[in-house]
Amino acid sequence: MNVNSSSALLAAPNGPLQIPDLPFASVGTIDHDIYLSLVIPTYKERDNIQNVVKILTQTLDEYIPGDYELIVVDDDSPDLTWEVAQSLASDYQQLRVMRRQGERGLSSAVIRGWQVARGRVLGVIDGDLQHPPEILTQLLSQIAQGADMAVASRHVDGGGVSSWSAIRRFLSRGAQLLGLILLPGVLGRVSDPMSGYFMVQRSSIVGATLNPVGYKILLEVIGRGNIQNIAEVGYVFCERKEGESKVTWKQYVEYIHHLIRLRLSTGGWKRLSQSVESFPMGRFLRFGLVGLSGVFVDMGILYLLSDPSTLALPLTRSKIIAGEIAIFNNFLWNDAWTLDISENSQSLCLARL
């Protein structure tokens, strides 16, 4: 099937990050679904994008000729990556390009691409050739054999990293171990949970509201999708030849943030998360400050009453009086400041009775 492509830029979706089902369309029309939609998220990849599109097209044309689309989602790169990609559309009929100007982030870029995709299988691959395109055929083969998801992994037979430093290897493995501790039910299902190279059956994530943080979208898809059967294919992660690496400490912090949020959103932790989100933190802090003031009031009154240089009252009597004054102090401040119940609020409460 040949899918015609327009040189016009795709409109970037907005609203919830939710994957729609494929609309019904007649066979043979431009809107009819295709087999694979492969999203290529980019930012400042001007030097790579032409070669990426060329190699991916050659690879997929041999395996599923015409039954796929490539969707470049560019985050308004200052080097005009989106413009270069758009200029290729007349030569590559399966290419579609989106320029995002209101959002940033690799994970959300992938989801926005999937939202406009027409494929029954959704995939993602880096736009810098660090993910070897020839692995696509093996991933597609696993999907064809019934897998809900096929993940390219650096940690199975045939996988590895080309020239990572010892520090980067340590951080990668450490991040994986932390994930296994916090989310064993998600990260325990794949050997390379930080992979950004995978395919998933559209039906497995239709309707799921995704809310990823940072770069690691695979965690979100496994955690929130209906993924039963996962297959893995080994690949060697290559060093980029053009452009700058985007791996920074920020990505590791975002990864931890993502793990915690996923952990809180599952099972009994979901209720805890909702409780934390609705917790009146401002009132709690005011309550704590009032309590602290009561400590100083209690100590000050006790000193004035019991010290030989002042009133020199017995210690027990002084402590009882100081405690009562401190309690009264806390009551007044909590009533006036911590609770802060206005007349309108009181009237509303009475009306509900």
User: pLDDT tens digits, residue range 157-215?
Assistant: 887 765 555 555 555 555 556 555 555 655 668 888 878 899 999 999 999 888 776 56
- Between residues 166 and 65, which one has the greater pLDDT? 65
Average pLDDT, the chain: 79
Nearest in space to 106 (alpha carbons), one of 9, 185, 17 = 17
Instruction: Say if CB 193 and CB 220 are below 8 A apart.
Output: no
In this structure, the strands spanning 119-124 and 95-99 are: unpaired
Interatomic CA distance for residues 243 and 53, integer angstroms = 16
Q: What is the pLDDT of residues 261-314, one digit of tens each?
A: 655 665 544 443 444 455 566 777 887 888 888 889 988 898 888 888 888 888
Extended strands (E) in 154-275: 160-161, 198-201, 230-234, 236-237
Residue whose pair of structure tokens reads 């492969």 in the numeric block = 38
As a whole number, mean pLDDT of residues 57-63 equals 95
The model's confidence at residue 23, banded by pLDDT at 50, 70 and 90, is confident
> What distance in Å separates the CA atoms of residue 34 and residue 121, rounded to the nearest whole number?
8
What is the model's pLDDT at position 2? 44
What SS3 string covers 279-293?
CCHHHHHHHHHHHHH
pTM over 0.85: no
